[in-house]
Structure 1
């Protein structure tokens, strides 16, 4: 039997049972659409996050206390004040380092502007180097030792009346002490923030370490009481970032105060935004593979449906098979006919499921406000699997049809 004749007969059989064929194809459509949707949305989220993280803070090395067990990810253990002022000075002196910027949290209970107060648990203490000139939207960076505050753009709208440079805020510390500070600058970013910090978009208030940050420990290196910070960001020469990271790691694992002050199961580590990107990509890839498993399950269900419908078709067309064999059709011709029908169902499901999945994924990226990034590799895999489902599901029914004895088939009622 010619290929064209086989296709014509298979198409006619599929069309003659439109409703049954359509219901069978739905499983393939759902499976392929699910795979394409989840894979594309995952690729879009990953591309958006990686581009944001990778394009910013490319020259920053983050010194953080990190858990040493398998569950300790990037920044696990953050909050432990283990980097002393001695460590900050030593990190600042590392070859290739342009600055070492400490960051710490100042416990507060409220912020007041005019007659309006907002509750808040903490504000950030850092140094003037955290505010490069191109990040300052209005005003200037604060001066070390001054009772001044720098805020981000979101913080200008925290109170009933917008805050601007020149206004005064009243900070109520956790111990009840009140401090009046002048707003001297508005910034759109800071140097030293962890890569994910800027994604939250919340209001931030920055005060100088001196006089607001009071967390101290005894420095093992000097034997004196010094301020201790949970994070220090080393700003490196971009061309020497890898070397700076390794020198920072060598110092932290060796003669640093942090190595002595970290609790058990925690160690001081040095990570770059590139290291963080690698971990984010790994996490998103694992999540994407997990959720696409839902689509794979749907495809397995679809395969069972195609196999079932083809077995029903073989039973219904037993007499037809007998007539075909009586007029000269060979076993392989009969097998090819039923296998082609099953494959057509898989192809139709792929043709419908692929654009449907792309459309749903596009809508999801619009809702999540991330750039649409097609996962072309997954497109090919989904279509190939959809067609393969049809082929595999049709193998047994086609083999069974080919083995029907023509004499018994012609007697079949």
Structure 2
């Protein structure tokens, strides 16, 4: 039987049972559309993650103490980097700046007559803003009663925060501090790459005035108490980033941080690229997992195709007998039903692609990230639809091919 004739007969059969065929196609559409939606969301999230790590942080080395084996999002970094360690890192060849960063525990923020609850603000140094882009104002000065906010922090009160506003901070222990807003920044140069993903309000204060976390230095004579930070950002010469990273990692040996960190923790010196690769790999794994769950719905679609094809075989028993009596072979009958099943799968896949893209657009809009397409998956989706149809139609087609023509002609 010619291929064109096979497709003509298959299409005629499907048109003859429009409602049943449509319901079967819906099962395939749901399964493949879910896959396309999650793949599109994963591709968009991955592009957003990589896009956040732009050239402004390409020469940053992030020094942290985290649980051993923690290669993704830094988990519970410990405040172990003392002022002595920071001076050690400043002396490493290829290092341009060393910017510490920690948190100050607070209870409230007050603007005018409005007070909101907040647990912490970020303590850092003016060097953190040297490569930052300011929407308004400037960086705070060392030791000053000043605060820099990001764009999201402007809207935490009923009226927008502006440069020049006085912000009262409720410190832990019932103390208060009045700070003047001096700048609105997009993000600091010392920020970890993923810290801006969630778009959280951030408040930055001078560490030398408000940061109070201290430890005893185990390497200095007399073990004096020094400020200790959970994160240190090393700004390196871009031309020697890799070698500087290696020297920074080597310089951490024998430091206060190495001796102060808890058991099971390890010091690490990661570049933006390292963190980007780890985060991209994490997103890929999550995407594969969620997509795997979505594939379960394809099983339902495959069962629907198998069911309609089995019903079709029963309804067309007499037609099969006539085809065999006029010279149709088992191969022709087998191909006829396989083509019908494949057409159902392909039709479902073609409809599922725009439906899945619409779902991806809604998901990325909700997550507030740019839509990024994964066109390679569109071809895969069509292929999967056809494959599901063929696999689901194998048994019904085999059963139709084995129908005895004499019994089929007697069938009523």
TM-score by length of 1: 0.92
Which structure 2 segments of 5+ residues have no match? Answer: none
The residue number in structure 2 matching 1:67 is 67
SS in 2 for 1:109: strand
- After the TM superposition, which of the residue ranges 226-235 and 56-65 deviates more from structure 2? 56-65
Distance in 2 between residues matched to 1:113 and 1:275, nearest whole Å: 40
Task: Tell me which of 168, 189, 197 is aligned to 2:195.
Answer: 197
Q: Per-residue deviation at 1:205?
A: 2.7
The residue number in structure 2 matching 1:341 is 340
- After the TM superposition, which of the residue ranges 383-392 and 319-328 deviates more from structure 2? 319-328
Asked if 1 retains the 8 angstrom alpha-carbon contact of 2:14 and 2:340, the reply is yes
Distance in 2 between residues matched to 1:350 and 1:112, nearest whole Å: 56
Which digits, 9 at most, give the CA deviation of each residue in 1:82-124, with x for residues without a partner?
Answer: 0010100111111111100111222223334444443333222
Distance in 2 between residues matched to 1:409 and 1:155, nearest whole Å: 77
The residue number in structure 2 matching 1:249 is 249
SS in 1 for 2:209: helix
Distance in 1 between residues matched to 2:259 and 2:355, nearest whole Å: 58
The residue number in structure 2 matching 1:41 is 41
- After the TM superposition, which of the residue ranges 311-320 and 379-388 deviates more from structure 2? 311-320
Q: Per-residue deviation at 1:163?
A: 4.4
The residue number in structure 2 matching 1:275 is 274
Distance in 2 between residues matched to 1:239 and 1:286, nearest whole Å: 33
The residue number in structure 2 matching 1:237 is 237
Q: Per-residue deviation at 1:141?
A: 2.7
The residue number in structure 2 matching 1:81 is 79
Asked if 1 retains the 8 angstrom alpha-carbon contact of 2:72 and 2:279, the reply is no
The residue number in structure 2 matching 1:11 is 11
Distance in 1 between residues matched to 2:103 and 2:296, nearest whole Å: 48
Asked if 1 retains the 8 angstrom alpha-carbon contact of 2:72 and 2:282, the reply is no
Determine if the alignment matches structure 1 residue 177 to structure 2 residue 175.
Answer: yes
Distance in 2 between residues matched to 1:295 and 1:166, nearest whole Å: 52
The residue number in structure 1 matching 2:372 is 373
Distance in 1 between residues matched to 2:153 and 2:335, nearest whole Å: 70
Which structure 1 segments of 5+ residues have no match? Answer: none
TM-score by length of 2: 0.92
- After the TM superposition, which of the residue ranges 294-303 and 263-272 deviates more from structure 2? 294-303
The residue number in structure 1 matching 2:359 is 360
Distance in 2 between residues matched to 1:346 and 1:373, nearest whole Å: 26
Q: Per-residue deviation at 1:217?
A: 1.3
- The two structures, once aligned, show a CA RMSD in angstroms of 2.2
Task: Tell me which of 124, 127, 133 is aligned to 1:126.
Answer: 124
Task: Tell me which of 134, 141, 144 is aligned to 1:143.
Answer: 141
Q: Per-residue deviation at 1:257?
A: 0.9
Structure-2 change in CA distance of 1:412 and 1:267 (3 Å): same
The residue number in structure 2 matching 1:111 is 109
Which digits, 9 at most, give the CA deviation of each residue in 1:153-184, with x for residues without a partner?
Answer: 44444445554444444433212333344444
Structure-2 change in CA distance of 1:11 and 1:181 (3 Å): closer
Q: Per-residue deviation at 1:55?
A: 4.6
Asked if 1 retains the 8 angstrom alpha-carbon contact of 2:93 and 2:244, the reply is yes
Distance in 1 between residues matched to 2:136 and 2:301, nearest whole Å: 61
Distance in 2 between residues matched to 1:319 and 1:157, nearest whole Å: 74
Asked if 1 retains the 8 angstrom alpha-carbon contact of 2:132 and 2:189, the reply is no
Asked if 2 retains the 8 angstrom alpha-carbon contact of 1:35 and 1:378, the reply is no
SS in 2 for 1:196: helix
Asked if 1 retains the 8 angstrom alpha-carbon contact of 2:32 and 2:381, the reply is yes
